Structure 1
């Protein structure tokens, strides 16, 4: 399946037979509708604030769900690139390897999700919550000390049109 991304968020997918599906998202990039080329609804989803599925209708085989993350159907956890998140308890299943500042008490809990603000924030990497608003939360590479790189969300504005912000990836 080929995926189309805009600012780090999957906005469409092209399946093996060439059919395109478009993902419509809410304020925290949770997929609420999946549409085909004709605008017909293929699936509809609604979520509770911390990601539990409230409504799910139609074709459920599309990968992006809550916060545009992939749901592991076997465990019921979402994969956030660095670790898994359990929407049933509103916590990550493992401790964050990045400690989020000594002066931020929410950062002391290394299992917490978006510092208790699931309506206005998301955590695309599993390491750092970013707030939504006038700017979109997106993923940018950040060079690590060992020459590797980790993804870190940042606030950056988007301009009209897809331009260089959109890219495709085969998966």
Structure 2
């Protein structure tokens, strides 16, 4: 179960208590199929933030009805306003250039894909939960190897 007082562990549908507000407010994340925060509501179910993204995580729409700008955006990852990068754990991703900062830790295992390419260029269908390997979605948890085989088949 998610602890809303711990902003380091946000989960869709669970609460988040902002640390930098004068009064204790609880916000709830509502994510899309990639785990990206689409809507944020307050404890009265009012929409306080709406975000829409381009395929690699660049913000297309960022609307707020409150002063609170919650840090978890594309794929539910923390967005660093200062650098403009998302932190995935193993490395950072630039949503404008669609590239990782840092070589893939599993680059020797998957030599046919680029070391800096995000989700073998399938950002609408695939996610990379920690910056080391891609999966089809959070629930299925397909390995990168299986997804590569699937993605090479004609539709």
Q: Same fold (TM over 0.5)?
A: yes
> How many residues of Structure 1 are paired with residues of Structure 2 in the alignment?
132
2:88 paired with 1:83? no
- The gaps in structure 1 that reach 5 residues or longer are 138-153, 156-171
How many angstroms apart in 2 are the aligned matches of 1:110 and 1:79? 17
Higher relative contact order (CA 8 A, sep 6+): 1
Of residues 48, 57, 61, the one that matches 1:55 is 61
Of residues 92, 98, 101, the one that matches 2:109 is 101
How many angstroms apart in 2 are the aligned matches of 1:95 and 1:56? 30
Of residues 19, 24, 27, the one that matches 2:25 is 19
Of residues 82, 86, 89, the one that matches 1:74 is 82
SS of 2:50's equivalent?
strand
1:123 aligns to what?
A: 128
Shift of 1:101: 3.0
Change (3 A) 1:11 1:91: farther
Conserved in 1, the CA contact under 8 Å of 2:71 and 2:80? Answer: no
Shift of 1:128: 0.6
SS of 2:120's equivalent?
helix
How many angstroms apart in 2 are the aligned matches of 1:69 and 1:130? 16
Conserved in 2, the CA contact under 8 Å of 1:34 and 1:41? Answer: yes
- When the two structures are superposed, what TM-score results if normalisation uses the length of structure 1? 0.69
How many angstroms apart in 1 are the aligned matches of 2:135 and 2:108? 12
Cα RMSD between the aligned structures? 2.2
Higher relative strand content: 1
Which aligned segments of 4 or more residues in structure 1 are displaced greater than 4 angstroms? none
How many angstroms apart in 1 are the aligned matches of 2:18 and 2:135? 31
- When the two structures are superposed, what TM-score results if normalisation uses the length of structure 2? 0.76
Shift of 1:86: 0.3
- The gaps in structure 2 that reach 5 residues or longer are 143-155
1:101-125 deviation per Cα after TM superposition (whole angstroms, max 9, x unaligned): 35x622xx11110111111111110
2:118 aligns to what?
A: 113
